[in-house]
Chains A and B, each alone.
Chain A
Amino acid sequence: MTDKDQSSADDKTLVRASQQGDMAAFEELVARHRDRIFARAYSMMRNEEEAVDLSQEAWVKGWQRLRQFQGDSSFGTWMTRVVINLCLDQLRKQKRQRTESIEAMDEESGGVERQMPVVTVNPTAGLEREELRQRIDRALGLLSYEHRTVLVLHEFEDMEYKEIARTMGCSIGTVMSRLFYARRKLAVLLADIKNQDLL
């Protein structure tokens, strides 16, 4: 397959060629989807260096497991699941190594979100895209990994509750509680960031 063929070929064609061992075709797939895979890793890890390393690992695993890809979902979706699993493994390792904060324990026990006042004014209304992205970036960084992960899987990966529960190894009820807390906390954090910027 020539360079021109590769750039004009669709993902299915490139995947078939890659499955036959065509590394140039695989390179084209990496080029097409690398930003999306990196973005997903970054959303979950909140660390650029780790996100790059895990993206790289995901692509290597993708190549090794390419024969298992049956085309049930799009190649991009399949690859994001690969990187998500790697991120979850990494986050679990990190969690084992650190002591849980009091805040995280409060979050896990539930109920904190019930006392949060409803944010009636949209704190992101009228923001430029880059400004909005930066604020969300800051707010996401203040969530615990469990809450951030549920949010990422639901909002960015469009996973259903039961799929998130299976992926994270918890009950659907826990997923609903974590998602609710994460959204409410995010709204409060975005409002706080807005207020700080106004001062």
Chain B
Amino acid sequence: MDYDKQLKLQALLDGELPEAEASAVAQWLAQDHEAAALREELRNTRGALAEFEAGIQMPESREFFWSKVQREIERLETPAAKPASAPFSALWRRFLVPASAVAALIIAGVVLNRPDSTGHTPAAEIETALADSGAFTYRDYSAGTTLVWLSYPADTEVADNDEMGTVE
């Protein structure tokens, strides 16, 4: 059987064949038993499918299904939540580290600049690098000692900050 004719036969069955071609296909059907059998097969398949979806039902109850739909609608309509604020402990540590550094600096300054029994101040000084306020340098010239104090955030705080960065 000619494939093009078979497709035309199908189109005739589906009501998609132009009038001009319909009569030629109908004539072919009347003469060719195999074509007529094919038409019956196509009709049977259509008939079998006709009621298929009518038996299918949603497996979830009305209430349960609606609750899911409603929840999703409400979730999408709710404005995006504000980013979560930093934990109090992290904020407290952020304040405490530089504050304690400044306090230690003041105490050291007072102690080191206190006049000794001869009335001279010790040959020592404390520097703070303006470019890096987290670093303090202490020099004791008499003892030939230099101490550098770095007060960068602790690892745990860095970790806290990283976690905060992922909150949406």
- Which residues of A are in contact with B by a Cβ distance under 8 Å? 23, 27, 30-31, 34-36, 38-40, 42-43, 48, 52, 55-56, 59-60, 63-64, 111, 114, 118-120, 122-125, 129-130, 132-133, 136-137, 151, 154-156, 160-161, 176-177, 179-180, 183-184, 186-187, 190
Contacts and interface: CB of A to CB of B under 8 A. Distances in A.
A111 B52 CA distance: 28
B55 interface: yes
Contact of A161 (B16, B34, B57): B16
Nearest to B1: A114
Interface of B: 1, 3, 6-7, 10-11, 14, 16, 34, 37-38, 40-42, 44-60, 62, 65-66, 68-70, 72-73, 76
B47 to A, nearest CB: 8
B58 A124 contact: no
A63 B73 CA distance: 8
Contacts of B58: 34-35, 38, 52, 55
Contact of B3 (A34, A114, A124): A114
A39 B45 CA distance: 19
Given A31-B62, A118-B41, A129-B51, A38 B70 contact: no
Contact of A23 (B44, B46, B55, B70): B70
A39 B53 contact: yes
B41 A42 contact: no
Given A31-B62, A34-B62, A161-B16, A60 B52 contact: no
15 contacts: A30-B66, A40-B53, A52-B65, A114-B3, A122-B40, A133-B55, A136-B48, A155-B49, A161-B16, A177-B7, A183-B10, A183-B42, A186-B49, A187-B41, A187-B44
A186 B34 CA distance: 18
Say what secondary structure dominates the interface of chain A.
Answer: helix
Nearest to B62: A31
Contacts of A30: 65-66, 69
A22 to B, nearest CB: 13
Contacts of A130: 55
Contacts of B70: 23, 27
